[in-house]
């Protein structure tokens, strides 16, 4: 059995197991589970205020580790390379252009 067929076979089995687990869960779970995210209810406090505290902002996710480990890397990548300024882009794009042309010439004149 080749690797692709084997993977299809294995994942189909995994899917079946997953479906059995899901059906079992749906059968035994308690009624009234939350879907909307309106719980928990806290003694009349404003829900909006509460929600603002219990979730980490998506934009802050990983920022602690990113700024601790890769700060310099992102500074270069975001503030110097991906500036959104056309002239900055052209420098790098021209670099690839002239590299391609020059190495092609070298190959023809040296190899030809």
> Is there binding between residue 2 and other proteins (CB under 8 A)?
yes
The H-or-E segment that residue 14 falls in is helix 3-28
Binding mask 31-60 for other proteins (x = CB under 8 A): ----xxx----------x--xx-xx-xxx-
Question: Does the footprint of other proteins cover residue 20 (CB under 8 A)?
Answer: no
User: Per rule CB under 8 A, is residue 66 in the interface with other proteins?
Assistant: yes
Under the binding rule (CB under 8 A), the answer on residue 71 touching other proteins is no
Q: Which two tokens stand for residue 54?
A: 């219990």
| Residue of 57, 92, 86, 62 whose CA lies nearest to 74 | 62
Listed in sequence order, the residues at least 6 apart from 52 whose beta carbon sits closer than 8 Å to its beta carbon are none
Lay out the site mask for other proteins across 83-112 (x = CB under 8 A, - = otherwise).
Answer: -x-x--x--xx-xxx-xxx-xxx-xx--xx
């Amino acid at each position: 059995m080749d690797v692709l067929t084997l993977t299809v076979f294995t994942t189909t089995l995994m899917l079946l197991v997953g479906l059995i687990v899901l059906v079992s869960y749906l059968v035994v779970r308690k009624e009234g589970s939350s879907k909307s995210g309106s719980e928990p209810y806290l003694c009349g406090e404003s829900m909006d205020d509460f929600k603002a505290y219990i979730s980490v902002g998506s934009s802050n996710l990983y920022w602690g580790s990113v700024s601790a480990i890769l700060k310099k890397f992102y500074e270069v990548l975001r503030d110097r390379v991906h500036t959104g300024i056309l002239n900055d882009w052209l420098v790098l794009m021209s670099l690839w252009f002239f590299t391609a042309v020059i190495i092609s010439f070298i190959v023809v004149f040296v190899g030809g």
